Amino acid sequence: MKEVKASSHRDYIRHKAIEQETQAERDISAEGYSGPGGLDDTSFDVFSSKLSEKQKSTAQNESESSDLYHMAMALAKEIHDRLSGNEVIKCGPVNLCVEKLVEQLLLNNSHLPVLMSGNAQDYLSSHVVNVSILSIKIGQDIGYDKTGLTELGISAFLHDIGMMKYMKQAMQPGKLSSKEYREIQNHTFMSAGILEEADELPEVAVQVALQHHERIDGSGYPRGLRGESLNIYSRIIHLADTYEALTHSRPHRDRCMPHESVHNILQMKHSYDYKVMKAFINMVGVYPVGSLVRLNTGETCRVAAINQGHPTRPVLHVLLNSDYKKPDEQNIINLLNYPIIHIKECLKQSGD
């Protein structure tokens, strides 16, 4: 696309129509629709049809992502309900569900991560699905193949399965007492014990259930393991678990904004594997998807996507123009293309 050199985002908006027309000409020409006389009515009809199909495809992807996310949530709830009845867990459905998540994320599906930003009523089900998606994304950045990502995703999906026994304590308002906190720490042993009895499960999932609260500096629990004694999947899921918990409300605390959660994690960087931390920051950026920000040019935006390798230059969806009015049409800014535009501040979101 022809780059519009704008002195501000307002200039960018003024030139948007020219930019889109230039792209339309290029796309149509590439498909052989333009002639020596320029663009005729038939050419525009063909291009409009192609654009409409692309929009339909985007809407279909969003719908499919939502269906898959809620299917995963329902599966997690079903597993937890079965545990309440002391049933042995069958992991075949989990394997199939995670395989679908991996397939979508390998296709660079950007809609699944966006779905994680909501606050679901069923805390535990949403938590394990979100941690699974985050872990897969981190593993993808590290370079795992589909088999490795599926094992990682399954381990993440089931890592907190023993928390069912401790949900009453975990969800009570107010700060936990030292005794209550020590009791809840036993969920790691409970999770490992449940998974040892399960079928169709990667062996590593049991180890991950036991280790996902261990820290690389030895300050975690239950055994204070450190360094290379920790399974790499455990290190990934520990970081994903921490970020997911920070960005969602609990009865005893409000959630942190995404950028605050990243800041909190960076302050504890000695607790995390360096390679995992690097992949995590590359994935979520300094301003994670869903963050509400204001630009130096005055627009209020929500972070729509991350430019990997450029953590401070995300793709933004403009919510309000500099005059605090909603745009007449959807505006997207990729900060990589506009070096003079930058994020001035992060904003509190409604409900925070």
Average pLDDT for 173-194: 91
Pick the range with the lowest mean pLDDT from 22-31, 189-198, 215-224, 329-338: 22-31
| Burial grade of 240 (CB within 10 A; 0-12, 13-18, 19 or more) | buried
The predicted pLDDT at position 145 comes to: 97
Q: Closest by alpha carbon to 238, among 203, 256, 207, 214?
A: 214
The crossing angle, in degrees rounded to 10, of helices 146-157 and 92-106 is 130
pLDDT confidence bin for 66, thresholds 50/70/90: confident
Q: Which residue has the higher pLDDT, 116 or 157?
A: 157
What local confidence, expressed as pLDDT, does residue 44 receive? 45
Q: Which of 16-20, 42-46, 196-200, 336-340 has the lowest mean pLDDT?
A: 16-20
* pLDDT score at 34: 40
pLDDT at residue 351, as a whole number: 54
Looking at per-residue pLDDT, the higher value among 267 and 168 belongs to 267
Give the pLDDT of residue 84: 81
Residue 343 confidence class, pLDDT cut points 50, 70, 90: very high
Residue 310 pLDDT > 60, yes or no? yes
Extended strands (E) in the chain: 292-295, 300-305, 315-320, 332-334, 343-346
Give me the percent of the chain exceeding a pLDDT of 90: 55
- What is the spatial distance between Cα 125 and Cα 128, in angstroms, rounded to a whole number? 6
* Per-residue pLDDT, 121: 67
Lowest mean pLDDT among 83-87, 114-118, 341-345: 114-118
Residue 18 has pLDDT above 60, yes or no: no
Q: How many other C-beta atoms are found inside a 10 Å radius of the C-beta of residue 105? A: 19
State how far the Cα of 13 lies from the Cα of 18, in Å rounded to an integer.
10
Predicted confidence band at 88 (pLDDT cuts at 50, 70, 90)?
confident
34 contacts 24 by C-beta, under 8 angstroms: no
Using DSSP, state whether 1 is helix, strand or coil: coil
Tell me: pLDDT of 43 over 50: no
Q: Which residue has the tokens 């339909």?
A: 56
Supply the pLDDT for residue 170: 80
The pLDDT of residue 311 is: 87
pTM value is: 0.77
**In the predicted model, what is the mean pLDDT of residues 190-210?**
95
Residue 127 burial (10 A CB sphere; 0-12, 13-18, 19+): buried
Mean confidence (pLDDT) of the chain = 83
The larger pLDDT score, comparing residue 197 to residue 3, is at: 197
Give pLDDT, residue 259: 85
Q: Which two three-digit tokens encode residue 331?
A: 């505006």
137 close to 111: Cβ distance less than 8 angstroms? no
Give the pLDDT confidence score for residue 115 in this predicted structure: 74
Of the chain, the percentage scoring pLDDT greater than 70 comes to: 79
Q: Count each helix (H run) and each strand (E run) in the chain, helices first.
A: 14, 5
Better-scored residue on pLDDT, 274 or 167: 274
Which DSSP string do the residues of 12-60 spell out, in sequence order? HHHTHHHHHHHHHHHHHHHTT--BTTB--HHHHHHHHHHHHHHHHHHHH
- Of 51, 29, 113, 98, residue with least CA distance to 283: 113
pLDDT winner (highest mean) among 42-56, 130-144, 255-269: 130-144
Beta strands of 96-202 (E only): which ranges?
Answer: none
CA distances in angstroms from 76 to 58, 115, 124, 290, listed in the order given: 27, 16, 8, 24
Taking the C-alpha atoms of residue 78 and residue 200, their distance in angstroms, rounded to an integer, is 17
What CA–CA distance (Å, rounded) separates 97 from 229? Answer: 30
Q: What is the mean pLDDT of residues 134-162?
A: 97
